[in-house]
Chain A
Amino acid sequence: DGGITQSPKYLFRKEGQNVTLSCEQNLNHDAMYWYRQDPGQGLRLIYYSQIVNDFQKGDIAEGYSVSREKKESFPLTVTSAQKNPTAFYLCATTEGVEQYFGPGTRLTVT
């Protein structure tokens, strides 16, 4: 069953704690992306990676970090420096012009 897996679906953290969101894919796609979605604001690009061991900042990278040690995995860490971390986080991969999205993780920080 091919696709993109994001876990967990819901995540709750206290302010000041770092938290890592998982993204795994078995589509054999090279490029992977992290987006943040807030109500009424569409999707905003946090980080992307075109190949293993390489990644670039997107439009809103401050307060986030990523790694790409394996083709299948692109975890996102939301650090305590991120001022407004509560949001819906989406991971995606690309083949051609189409981006495929995972089911998302809803992070709530209180």
Chain B
Amino acid sequence: QKEVEQDPGPLSVPEGAIVSLNCTYSNSAFQYFMWYRQYSRKGPELLMYTYSSGNKEDGRFTAQVDKSSKYISLFIRDSQPSDSATYLCAIPAVGSARQLTFGSGTQLTVLP
């Protein structure tokens, strides 16, 4: 079993839709949870990170962590064509905030 599993997609939605991107993880000791966004042929950039269970909101983006289910989600409200990218969940290794384990990524396309 992989340490981090991500819904593979691809996902195609109309502009304005609410998008849900999801990952599960296996190690209950994981503490930080991150979402990276990667535009085509570019390096990933950090979108959001959370430390604990619950929700964290940043504009149209909400990161949600459910530690009891080992489930993390990223919601995008009022999606825009500029949100079209690959979204990767990432979790730092236990005992090290520096080594990240990445999900396989979900490619999102928002259609105008």
Are A98 and B44 in contact, CB atoms less than 8 angstroms apart? no
Which residues in B have their C-beta under 8 angstroms from that of A99? Answer: 46, 90, 98, 100
Partner of A42, one of B32, B97, B105: B105
Cβ-based interface call for A68 (8 A): no
Q: Interface size bucket, A side?
A: 20 to 34
Cβ-based interface call for A101 (8 A): yes
Cβ-based interface call for B43 (8 A): yes
Partner of A31, one of B44, B98, B102: B98
One digit per residue, 1 when the CB lies within 8 angstroms of any chain A CB and 0 when it does not, for chain B 70-86 equals: 00000000000000000
A96 to B43, CA, bound (A): 19
Which residues in B have their C-beta under 8 angstroms from that of A4? Answer: 43
A45 to B8, CA, bound (A): 20
Cβ-based interface call for A60 (8 A): no
Which residues in A have their C-beta under 8 angstroms from that of B6? Answer: 42
Are B41 and A42 in contact, CB atoms less than 8 angstroms apart? no
Partner of B104, one of A42, A58, A104: A42
Tell me the interface secondary structure of chain B in the complex.
loop
Which residues in B have their C-beta under 8 angstroms from that of A33? Answer: 99
Cβ-based interface call for B34 (8 A): yes
Cβ-based interface call for A94 (8 A): yes
- Write the residues of chain A forming the contact surface with B, with a CB cutoff of 8 angstroms: 4, 31, 33, 40-45, 48, 50, 58, 90, 92, 94, 96-104, 106
Beyond A99-B100, A104-B42, 19 extra complex contacts between A and B, CB < 8 Å: A31-B98, A42-B88, A42-B105, A43-B44, A43-B88, A43-B100, A43-B102, A44-B102, A45-B99, A48-B99, A90-B44, A92-B43, A98-B46, A101-B43, A101-B44, A101-B45, A102-B43, A104-B41, A104-B43
Pairs across A and B, CB under 8 Å, 17 listed:
A4-B43, A40-B8, A42-B6, A42-B104, A42-B105, A43-B88, A44-B102, A45-B100, A48-B98, A90-B44, A100-B46, A101-B44, A101-B45, A102-B43, A103-B42, A104-B42, A106-B41
